[in-house]
Structure 1
Amino acid sequence: MLAFLRCRHRVRHRRWDFRAASGLSNSNSESHGHGKYRDTVLLPHTDFPIRRGASETTAMELRVQEESGFLQLYAWQRARKTKKEFSLHDGPPYANGDPHVGHALNKILKDITNRFHMMRGYKVSYMPGWDCHGLPIELKALAELGLEAENMSALEIRHKARMFAENAIERQKSSFIRWGIMADWDNCYYTFDSKYEAKQLDIFYKMYEKGHIYQDYKPVFWSPSTRTALAEAELEYQQQHTSRSIFAKFPVHKPPPKLSSIIDGSSPVSALVWTTQPWTIPANQAICYMPETEYVLVKCVNTGEQYILAADRVESTALSLGTQLGIISNFKGADLENGVCAHPTISDRISPLLPANHVTMAKGTGLVHTAPAHGIEDYSVASHHKLPVDCLVDESGCFTSGAGTELENKAVLSDGNEAVIQMLNASKTLLKEESFIHSYPYDWRTKKPVIIRASKQWFVNTANIKDKAQETLKKVKFFPSSAISRMLEMLDRRTYWCISRQRSWGVPIPIFYHKQSGEPLINGHTIGHLINLVDQHGSDVWWTHSLEELLPKTILQKSGISLDVVDFEQGRDVLDIWFDSGTSWAHVLEDTDQRADVYMEGKDQLGGWFQSSLLTSVAARNKAPYRNVIVHGFTLSEKGEKMSKSVGNVVDPDVVINGGRDKAKEPAYGADVLRWWVAESNVFTEVMIGPAVLNSARDDINKLRNTLRFMLGNLKGFNPETDTVSSSEMCVIDQYMLHILQDYVSKVTEAYKGFEFGKVTRLLEALVTRELSSFYFSIIKDRLYCDEDRDPKRRSCQTVLAEALDIVVRSFAPILPHLAEEVFQYLPYRKESESVFRTGWIKSSTVWKKPGLVEAIEAACSIRDTFLSSIPGKNSVEYDVTVVVEPGLLFELMETLQAEEISCSSQLNELLMCSQTSLVTELPLDITSEASVMEGSFLINLEDGDICEEETYKVVVQPSTKERCPRCRKYTAPSALTPCPRCLEAIAGKWTQ
């Protein structure tokens, strides 16, 4: 039958409840060797500390970084000869402040990914970068200058902003290095580098040449607080914004022809509109309706006035107005065609009634006040019907003179809004005004409300490339997979992308304009010349060089233009920073076919960098810049709240590592605790951090250290090169542990590949806590401590310990690099300067794939559970156990663990952790009255279910009849003063020397 088992295939792995036996507990192991046998017991010994104090932790990590060559690791792995490449393109953090936990979450996730792939033999390409332009940096750089900043030239502003960005970069870079991030920190990319800027201008022109970039006068999101246009990605929505909403009348000036019978002029009729932006009423050019929707003519019971509105909105409107509206007539929206209303505040202006698909019935009256200069949909209606798009609001958000003397210079979001409401009241066209709380866009930098305002800007026509971008995106793998749907939705809603900004700190839009006509000048000759200048001197040339240097006469001649240089002027707008960073693929990924294996950023980048990178890449070269996109959540406080300095719940990653001023309240945890927090979190959702979370992470690492220390201590005197036991000669229990370890290797490798680092930590904790500490270590302590040091059985489990230590350390090395290198420094058989990261990933093995191996151990564990359940709270070594199994497959499995009938040292005995084990086929006749008999069963499942047998067994438990051995503490000695035979043999050699 054993021969039969040996030819079986891999068996199905069945879990059981691991429980530490009470016999060889830690406290018991500490008592080993009391008296004259103390020095003969091989207790573990290592200088590896079970835990370190706060100051010791930070000092150790810095020492490990130095001794293990953290800063040289990236260059070393890039120099390796391997064809396998892995590229992770670093999304540039913004260079406008100190590092925060969001940085830590992102950078550490990337580093775990990179270290894993490097250990697996890939040549990792990772160039850290920074987003260095833009308004936030400009504002912060000028904040301390006060009024002085108002008189600064563009070049002076750029100089101040650059200095601010450079200082922020150095602070952030220093922190990233301390966190253990692997990179070539002397070769990073910065969006203000001349070569980066030159490449960006090249991409701009390629997109312009293909018709994807154009100039137009249309409404865009505008920030009065910063006097510049904004892209949607630069907005954040305030959910509790309060607007002054109004119901207003637009008197019917010319009735729609199809409604002439009911609107006959006998009674005044008005179109009823509702808006949350009264300040846009002066810019009204039309009123829109939904053609297929049912509308009504109603009469107000209070005033007798007649209004037109949607049938579905009558009830809610009457409730808001505090009146009753009686329906006079019903008709389709299409019947409003060719009707015209009078403007409520401008006597000589009319507002035609026009059909539009954007009208909804969710709020309002079903008739939409349309101001083309202040609404995206409004602009579309104006374009279709050729209506004027007159903007009466300036860059500061104030009415211009075109709005009239009553409104001129008034801010539209404050006193201008009030003035319009008063004008409506004076013309008796205001029905009601009330506060309305709703979601409203704010400038993400100043945290102040924005408006929509028509102005002349440069745009990327996303409508041209949207279909190709969506098609390309569907070939990209997303983690989590749900993220792709959100990004596709965002792309679908995006009609155009405003890329011009009215600021100084950025890459100039490389356009010249004819002074008289305003026509833009850009072609291959002008852009080629500018790219060369920027490549040599940086984008400051736009401000430092004369017009003749920027646009030489020879360039005009090559362009076929007979005009003189003085007939032109250079533009003053700069490129949106999302275009800045979105073209990073062109600069960073030159050596990787300009396509990264991974982009990994927070979920806000679905509408930001992920999207701008995709749009520029598809527009310029018809392919995505990434193969995989990993999207993580945001960091929150332990209470699930957004972190804010004003609230005082901000967690500073550098304080986490080094401690705060009050070390009692803010202890130093070290970088590895921060990294463990990142890895164990479910990063695909929001990630919480605080003292409780960090303390838990520290405790997890300390528990891991305890396990590592046990393995290191028990490997003293072991040399893998000379003392390793082959798998064929190993104890079955040890072979089984190789099975467990290799199963762990397979699962943990797949978890890393799937970016499931939380799963990695859970697998690691389960292995360390359950399979190793609670199960295997408790079983082999007797063998480790009491067998002769060179005994093959002791060497067998030391072989497994060496393998387990290597596997465990390598498996957590990408997450805890400092701890991994520290462990290697304490290896008793360590070769000089040996590093975890320079010696590769875990080497898989097939030696554990032995038929019947798993079933034999798991069957024995089932028997052990039955035994231990009969002696709750008792010491297992105080008992002898008889296992009764009828002849058959289960008995033969047990014979692989115990060949003789009675044994004190068999593997079955070791697993049961009792003093003596008997393996018989029949229940003994001489059972004492003190004995208890337990019954159990075990399901044998071989060949994936082809062989499936449930066999029963009996366990006879009775107190040991021998004396307690003074050395091993098992009840196997003939006398309490004399060691048992196994111990006598182990110490014989020592005592004869």
Structure 2
Amino acid sequence: MSEKKKKGYRDTLNLPKTSFSMKANLTQREPQQHKAWKKQKIYDTILAAREDAPTYTLHDGPPYANGDIHMGHVINKVLKDIVVKYKTMAGFKVPYIPGWDCHGLPIEVKVMQELGEKIREMPKLEIRKRCKKYASKFVKVQTKQFKSLGIFGDFDNPYLTLKPQYEQGILEIFAELIGNGLVYKQLKPIHWSVGCETALADAELEYKDIPSLSVYVNFPVTDETRKKLADLNLVTDDDATASFMIWTTTPWTLTANLAVAVNPKLDYVSMTYTKEGRKFSSIIAAERVEAVAQAAGLEQGDYTISDPVKGCEFEGLRYEHPFVETNPTDKDAYFAICADYVTTEDGTGVVHIAPGHGVEDYVAAQNYGLAVYSPVMDNGRYDNTVPAFIKGKSVLKVDPIVADHLSEKDLLVAAKEITHSYPHCWRSKTPVIFRATEQWFVSVDNQVPKAGKSLRNLALEQIGDVQWVPQWGEKRIRGMLESRPDWCISRQRAWGLPIPAFLNSDGDTLMTKESCLRVAEHIGKKGSDSWFIDSPKEILGEDFELPEGFTWDDLHKEENIFDVWFESGCSWHSVMRKRGYDVPVDLYLEGSDQHRGWFQLSLLPALGAIQQAPFKTVLTHGFTVDEKGMKQSKSLGNYVSALEEIQKYGADILRLWVSSVNYQEDMRCSDELIGRLSDAYRKIRNTLRYLLGNVKDYDRSMAVPYEKMLPVDKWAMQQLQKLISKVRLAYEDFAFHRVFGLVYNFCTVQMSSIYMDVLKDRLYCDKPDSISRRSAQTVMVEILEAMIKLISPVLVHTGEEAWAAFEQKSETDLPTVHAATLPDVNESINWQAEEARWDKIMTLRDDVLRVLEGLRQEQAIASNQEASVTITIDDEELYSTIEELGVDTFTSLCIVSEVKLEKGDKLDISAAKSDHPKCERCWNYLPSVGHDTDQPDLCIRCAEVVNHA
């Protein structure tokens, strides 16, 4: 046959045609799409298309405006965007107002690093100006970077915590908390960052294992106490120094010791021994004798033990401080107190009490009128009230010095390093200390008047009404709420919203609901810088009636600022309520660390102000780790740059990766793992391209009703309904990795391995307008429309590109696929009822394909089309199923030239190369080849097509 004739047959085939290219070129194509979206104002356009639809609100948690985006941002923002786009296509109006945390230490620290020592000479307003400039810069930077991920939102009008209107909202909520009696000021120990010189909230702590010096120390008792101990038969040796023995892992706090605590119900003994030539009788818990002896290096014969007495016998007994000669407070000190929290799990059963440096110490001390003494300055160094040998020294470095001093006085029983988990400042990465300072607190145990219960109990009650995804989130936040202390909301920094407290020269505080609302109104107009510029009279207004004891001439402003978490925790009001959206909102979605952070610290202000949780559903995701499960960091060299990945692969690949991982766990992330998703992306893209290319000559007026479709086409329609059903359910359950798996498997298995392969013969070779071809095209158009819509919340750019190339779409007047509606399951197609039948057919097909694979490996055939297959079936039901389907249909399903069906005693499948000649147009081996005299090298089907072309 001539080459000309071969080319002629090619021209008679119905070959695919589409503008949708095989090569994605995402890194070039996506920026072009962004320009088009910007021109059409895509976010406003989509909202307008849903103007009358019910609203679904996802409230964005604000990232810090202090650097380029990273993979954590990618995961968080892409997950949110998938929800927004899915819910939009599900028929909701879904506003998305992006926000940024613009105040706080993360930004101030960056500015400090840029300015260096110069910042110490700068006035507060100049520092605030620099911080605002820095934050505003990175709002713009991150906006551009988030948009590059294909995220839609109100980026022209985001919420920024530095905006006066937002700040006003914070103060409005604060005023409600004041009015409800939930705000107080008190001198008490709080977590203090020495590195950043400010108070910290629980959400600003991270825990690391570090070595600490633990010491056993004798506190010698007074002569009067010694007599009492002798009366109790605890001290019988006149040469022994009677002591209370304490154990601590913070020797630096010993200088602030004001008492020792015992458990009134525990048994205590006197342990008599000689240490460094000096004899002691030390009071310890009976259960701790062996542990203390071991720590002190004492053998069993080196010590004697008295009979036990109950701890309550020691209450009020006095001792002498081991190295402080004069009580630095004006209150009684240095005596034993009773505290039920003292245990025998470790230590000596006698606890050293420093009320200024421990929460439990503080609480216990309150019952005995002890002072709250904290001789540590903001920079973590001792003040002038301590003994000379440690004066001015850093408390973080002084432990060995204290231990040496105790050793010189023969009061150090034992000292050794232990490794334990210790809180660190999340910003400076330095260990934190407990330090008593005067701070503002929100009480979690005061009663909320309108609720008739405490803020803590109200929170524990209402979290049960919230949907937590995953469910363990409720248990996690419940445990945190049960044990959390009052919320320290004041900070000693420059960059933030000032706490609206006024003071007179007597130290009295003016901060009422009414005064706070006046400040809110003023700052709403002029911004928070005005607090540092305007006078109290200008801020409150001349008509404000000052309470008794306050005058305009003697009114000063406090300069503490709010904890940045309190600022972001009021976003449900400053953003959602003030823009007209209902609270609670439908969804909060953040990392799992926000159970301690934004989730909890949004819940508490909302409950305190309006007695209502701010959210209906809370979804949490894990964090990125490397392939070995290690936390990613630049220093370890396992850090994945989000911007580099976008530039290398394109945003849709990153979005596909996010959808493919189970975000409820920590996610392994590397360039290689992200790169692997390129193959999955190509499979999805090529599926779309195949479908688009084969419907070019079709329009919906040519549709074949389901009842008249070919059997394989009916199967494909059934598989489509199954896909739609399961994908929509996965979206509803926020199970995006299931969305990815379902779509990917549909493309690789149902489409590529079966349907599209089976279709090629009739799509390419049948008459263009034949029922067989139109039946397939009807199905392909339905699959195309459904698939494009189902993938678009994830593959935002590819979905838009495919939608533009899809000429047969049913929603023709839409400016974007993202304003389209998701496909619904066609309830008239009962895919469940047909599934068992098709499973049998496909199982038999798989058996046939395995036999053919063997022939190909033996090189008996080059392709399945060359094969003739004989199937002997012993199963009557299976035989009937194949007969009902049609042997010709099953032949095409296996893509072979011939299938012979026989009954027998057992299932048997054999295959050989067909004896029939090959059709030079369709390449099938058929007995009809040569029957048409005009086209002797074609089968009857192909001859008819060519003759009537």
Q: Give your verdict on TM over 0.5.
A: yes
Change (3 A) 1:173 1:340: same
Deviations 1:806-861, CA, capped at 9 Å, x for gaps: 22221111111011111123225465875321222123212321796444433332
Give the conservation status (yes or no) of the 8 Å contact 2:193–2:425: yes
Q: Which residue is 1:613 aligned to?
A: 602
Counterpart for residue 765 of structure 2: 786
Asked if structure 1 preserves the Cα contact closer than 8 Å seen for 2:246 and 2:347, the reply is: yes
Residue 589 of structure 1 deviates from its aligned partner by: 1.6
AA matched with 1:288:
A
Q: Which residue of 1 aligns with 2:860?
A: none
Q: Distance in 2 between matches of 1:328 and 1:851?
A: 81
Q: 1 or 2 for the larger relative contact order (CA 8 Å, sep ≥6)?
A: 1
Shift of 1:533: 1.1
Counterpart of 2:219 in structure 1 is 250
Q: Deviations over 1:698-742 (max 9, x none)?
A: 2211222222222122222122x2221110111121111111111
Structure 1 78/48 Cα, relative in aligned 2: closer, same or farther at 3 Å? closer
Partners of 1:82 and 1:121 within 8 A in 2: no
* Cα deviation 1:398-438 (Å, max 9, x = unaligned): 212222444332222224x4443343233321223332322
Deviation at 1:634, TM superposition (A): 1.3
Q: Is the contact made by 1:259 and 1:336 (CA closer than 8 Å) also made in structure 2?
A: no
- Secondary structure, counterpart of 2:657 in structure 1: helix
Q: What corresponds to 1:987 in structure 2? A: 946
Match of 2:897 in 1: 915
- Does the Cα contact within 8 Å between 1:297 and 1:328 map onto a contact in 2? yes
Q: Whole-Å Cα distance in 1 between the matches of residues 262 and 138 of structure 2?
A: 52
Q: Partners of 1:620 and 1:472 in 2: how far apart?
A: 14
For residues 876-929 of structure 1, the C-alpha deviation after alignment (integer angstroms, 9 at most, x for no partner) is 43344455668965555334322xxxx6xx323222333234556x56xxxxxx
Aligned ranges for residues 748-759 of structure 1 at < 5 Å? 748-759=727-738
Residue of structure 2 equivalent to 1:670: 650
Contact 2:235 2:242 in 1 (8 A): no
- Whether contact under 8 Å (1:551, 1:565) holds in the other structure is no
Give matches, 1:50-129, under 5 Å: 50-52=22-24, 56-68=25-37, 72-79=41-48, 80-129=50-99
Q: Return the match for 1:283 from 251, 256, 268.
A: 256
Partner of 1:340: 318
* Alignment pair present for 1:292 and 2:275: no
Residue in 2 that maps onto 1:489 = 479
CA distance in 1, matches of 2:119, 2:194: 18
Q: 1:749/1:186 Cα in 2 relative to 1: closer, same or farther (>3 Å)? A: same
Partner Cα distance (1:756, 1:256) in 2 = 72
Tell me, in whole angstroms, the C-alpha distance in 2 between the residues paired with 1:873 and 1:958. 8
Q: 1:378 maps to what in 2?
A: 361
Q: Residues 941-968 of structure 1: CA distance to partner in whole angstroms, max 9, x if unpaired?
A: xxxxxxxxxxxxx657565343222221
Letter in 2 for 1:981: I
8 A contact 1:200–1:583 mirrored in 2: yes
What is aligned with 1:684? 664
Q: Quote the residue 1:20 is aligned against.
A: none
In structure 1, how many angstroms separate the alpha carbons of the residues matched to 2:251 and 2:322? 12
335, 357, 377: which one pairs with 1:352?
335
Aligned residues: 908
Which residue among 454, 458, 463 is the counterpart of 2:445?
463
Alpha-carbon displacement from aligned partner over 1:366-392 (angstroms, at most 9, x marks no partner): 211110000000000011221111221
Cα 1:512–1:333, aligned 2, differ >3 Å: closer, same or farther? same
Q: Is the 8 A contact 2:102 2:135 kept in 1?
A: yes
Amino acid at match of 1:499: I
User: Distance between the aligned counterparts of 1:814 and 1:33, measured in 2?
Assistant: 48
For 1:12, the equivalent position in structure 2 comes to none
Contact 1:633 / 1:686 at 8 angstroms: preserved in 2? yes
CA displacement, residues 268-323 of structure 1 (integer Å, 9 cap, x when unaligned)? 32221111211111111111122333333223366542222223322232222222
**Counterpart of 1:762?**
741
Which whole-Å CA distance do the structure 1 matches of 2:83 and 2:290 have between them? 58
Residue 819 of structure 2 aligns to a residue whose secondary structure is: coil
Question: Structure 1: which amino acid aligns with 2:292?
Answer: T
The 5 Å alignment of 1:150-189 reads: 150-189=120-159
CA distance 1:593–1:852, change in 2 (3 Å): closer
1:877 maps onto 2:865 in alignment: yes
Among 265, 268, 281, the residue aligned to 2:241: 268
For structure 2, the 5+ residue unaligned runs are: 328-332, 447-454, 857-862, 931-935
Q: Distance in 2 between matches of 1:191 and 1:492?
A: 29
Aligned partner of 2:450 in structure 1 is none
Letter in 2 for 1:327: I
Q: Find the partner of 2:806 among 827, 832, 853.
A: 827
1:237-256 Cα distance to aligned partner (Å, 9 max, x none)? 221x2222211101233159
SS of the residue 2:94 aligns to:
strand
Distance 1:33 1:730, change over 3 A: farther
Partner Cα distance (1:883, 1:407) in 2 = 94
Structure 2 counterpart of 1:199, from 137, 157, 169 = 169
Instruction: Provide the residue aligned with 2:919 in structure 1.
Output: 965
Contact 1:142–1:160, Cα closer than 8 Å, also in 2:
no
Q: Distance in 2 between matches of 1:292 and 1:851?
A: 68
Deviation track 1:448-485 (CA, whole Å, cap 9, x = no partner) reads 12211111110011123111011111111111111211
Q: Is residue 256–residue 336 contact of structure 1 (8 Å, CA) maintained in 2? A: no
Uncovered stretches (5+) of structure 1, i.e. residues with no partner? 1-30, 659-667, 924-933, 937-953
Mapped partners of 1:359, 1:327: distance in 2: 21
Given that 1:460 and 1:498 are in contact with CA atoms closer than 8 Å, whether structure 2 keeps it comes out as yes
Shift of the 283–684 alpha-carbon distance from structure 1 to 2, 3 Å rule, reads: same
Segment drifting more, 73-82 vs 259-268: 259-268
Equivalent residue, structure 2, for 1:941: none
For residues 783 and 41 of structure 1, the distance between their equivalents in structure 2, rounded to whole angstroms, comes to 10
2-side partners of 1:431 and 1:573: how far apart? 43
Contact 2:168–2:523 (Cα < 8 Å) also in 1: yes
SS class of match (2:381): coil
2:799 aligned partner, one-letter code: A
Per the alignment, do residues 698 and 435 of structure 1 end up closer, same or farther by CA in structure 2, a change over 3 Å counting?
same
State which of 552, 572, 576 in structure 2 corresponds to 1:589. 576
Matching residue's letter, 1:97: G
Give distance in 1, aligned partners of 2:373 and 2:631.
41
Structure 2 residue aligned with 1:323, among 262, 278, 298? 298
Q: Is the alpha carbon distance of 1:446 and 1:544 closer, same or farther for their aligned partners in structure 2, counting shifts above 3 Å?
A: same
> Distance in 2 between the 1:974 and 1:686 partners?
61
1:145 is paired with a residue of what secondary structure? helix
CA-to-partner distance for each residue in 1:331-377, whole Å, 9 max, x for gaps?
Answer: 44334334332211124555222222322333322211110000000
Q: Deviations over 1:219-242 (max 9, x none)?
A: 111112222111111111221x22
Alignment deviations for residues 609-649 of structure 1 (CA, whole Å, 9 cap, x no partner): 11110010011111110011111111223332222233333
Q: What is the TM-score with the length of structure 1 in the denominator?
A: 0.87
Q: Which one is further off, 353-362 or 57-66?
A: 353-362
Q: Structure 1 residues 975 and 783 mapped into 2: Cα distance closer, same or farther (>3 Å)?
A: closer
Secondary structure of the residue aligned to 2:817 is coil
Output one character per residue of 1:72-128: Cα deviation in whole Å (capped at 9) or x when no partner.
232123222334211000000011222111111111110011000001110002211
- 2:633 aligns to what SS in structure 1? coil
Partners of 1:488 and 1:683 in 2: CA distance: 22
1:848 to 829, 845, 851: 829
The one-character-per-residue Cα deviations of 1:654-681 (angstroms, maximum 9, x if unpaired) are 11112xxxxxxxxx11111111121111
* CA–CA separation in structure 1 for the residues paired with 2:815 and 2:537: 62
Q: 1:868 is matched with which residue?
A: 849
Tell me the CA shift for residue 205 of structure 1.
1.2
Contact 2:171/2:517, CA 8 A, preserved across alignment: no
Could you tell me which of 715, 720, 723 is aligned with 1:736?
A: 715
Distance in 1 separating the partners of 2:781 and 2:355:
74
In the alignment, the residues of structure 2 paired with residue 496 and residue 524 of structure 1 have an alpha-carbon distance, to the nearest angstrom, of: 20
